[in-house]
Each structure stands twice: as C-alpha cells, then as structure tokens.
A = this chain, B = another copy of it.
C-alpha cells in the first residue's frame, strides 16, 4: 500500500495525499477527511524515510561508542538520544569496540548511509597516529566528538577538561594532607584521555610541590574484568609494603576494585574515582568521583548539532570544567588519617 494507491482510492492526486499526511494547511476539510478516512480504512502507514531520502534530510544521526554495556557510554547515549528524539531525529547506534579498524569501518559505513551527522562518544575515537578517516567522514557530514579533540574542518569537539579536573583533585587531596597518592589507570583503551588524565595527575603533584614517585603510578591491563584486576593490583601493592595514603583512579570501576582490596585488608584511605557513574553510588562506602559532565556535554552537543543543521555557525571546540562529587570515600574536610 503506497501513496499512489491511496490517491487512486480517494480520486485525488498523490500530492494531495502527501499534503494530508504532512498536515499541510492548504487542503480543504472535506478532502482531508476523505483522505484520512481511506488511509484509516486501508491501514495505510506512510513510509517515513522515503521522502527524506535523497534530499539529505533523513533525520537520522549516527552515534558511535565503543561499548554500550559500559555505564559511561550508556549514560552518554541515553542523554544524546533523548535530546535527538525531542527534535524528531532518530539515532542509529553503532557499538564499535576499541579496535582501530572496527571504529574506522563503522564510521565510513555510517557516512555511506548519509545520516545527517555522526557523534563519536569517547576519546577512543581520536586515534594517536592517523585520523584521516575522520577527516574523510567530515568531508561528507558533520562530525561531533565527545570528550576527544582533533582539529579538522567540519569536526566539532565538546569536552570536559579532565586534565584540570584531575589536577584539582590532586590538589584537594594534598590540601587534606595526602602526600602519597596512588594513581591507577587503564590507559590502553583510551590513549588520549588516559594521557590527559595522567598529565593532570602530574600537574597536580607539581603544583603542590610533591615529588612524582613512579611506583605510585600503576597501570591496570585486563581483557575483561577491570575491577578485579584493580583489586588484585592493590592487594599486591599492600602485600609489597608500598606506602600510599590515598588512591585516585581514572575510572570508577578501578576505584571500586581498589576499595575492595583495601576493605579486605581493613585499610582505609580516601579513594576517588572518575566518571561519577552509578557504580559510585552502589559501592559501600559510596565513592567520591570526578564528574566529567556528560549531563552538560551531551545536551550541548545536540543543541549545537541542531544549530549547525539549521545553517547556523557553531564553535569547533567547547570545553567545560569537571567537578568533584564528594561521597563517603573522601570529604574535603577529611583530615589525614581519616578515610
């Protein structure tokens, strides 16, 4: 059943049916009723893509993320999808994993679909070496990057200043008397963000006049369960007798692993995670965490996207600051010795 058949049945033209479908005011009440009646009777459902196709007005944007089962991405996609839907835009979701080839293929596949724009969520999409595939994509459609930055025409980056957020957190810890801050990260997957965060840690130390101790910077590398890996790591560190009086992790799961290790050894120090995810609330004690402001960044990205599609100019880069969300594992008022 298509628009032509309906037109035939009504004894009007397809144009008129189209007008009825789209609530055009320039249709007489009688005609409209007649057409609506037939549509109803025939159970006709117009094909929503047929019109937009070809006129580059599909009203679909592609969202790429590494893994939607990851709470961080799930949160971002949730916020993005909501805003897009509110504007009548559909979301084509691609979970690409972390492999460079897979990410690349997914991006070009989306471009082939002539979606109106793509949003790349997470710093995983900024490759260390070669970002030409992003450049290629941006030649065809606007590309938005969340929490990653590249300088390419038609690519728009909205990000949180994670480096500064980490640095500020280190300063907070130092102000609370902490001198030996264990830093746990999982940089492999997040090359760029990982580098930024680590730099933030170092900034913080430097600004506080603390010496960097390489034994306090630890890398967690796990194929599957990052939490468990972090737990094992910290248990080992405790066994080894390494001294530290606080823990900062580049992700909530790592912090929670560390927390479990400390708990099992009856040790207590301030522990701070990153992402301010639901996990931070569910662990006991609840986890202090750095919020990288997805709740701000995502709506902002969609707003910019809308403006851009509407023909307005938008900045190619927006940076917002992060914020420390204090919970049981650390209070700013905490004094040395307390946890």
Contacts and interface: CB of A to CB of B under 8 A. Distances in A.
Interface stretch (A22-30, A65-73, A207-215): A65-73
Nearest to A280: B282
A68 B77 contact: yes
A34 interface: no
A68 B71 contact: no
A75 interface: yes
Interface of A: 43, 45-50, 53-54, 58, 60, 63, 67-71, 74-75, 77-79, 81-82, 85, 90-95, 108-109, 111-114, 136, 139-140, 225, 227, 253, 256, 259-260, 263, 278-279, 281-284
Given A69-B74, A92-B90, A93-B93, A47 B283 contact: no
B48 A68 contact: no
B284 A71 contact: no
Contact of A53 (B49, B63, B67, B94): B49
Contacts of A259: 284
Contacts of A109: 48
Given A90-B92, A92-B92, A279-B278, A112 B46 contact: yes
A48 B114 contact: yes
A74 B81 contact: no
Nearest to A59: B113
A49 B45 contact: no
A78 B71 contact: no
Contacts of A45: 108, 111-112, 140
Contacts of A112: 45-48
A50 B54 CA distance: 7
A113 B48 contact: yes
Contact of A283 (B49, B81, B282): B282
9 contacts: A47-B53, A48-B113, A49-B113, A49-B114, A63-B93, A67-B78, A69-B78, A81-B95, A93-B93
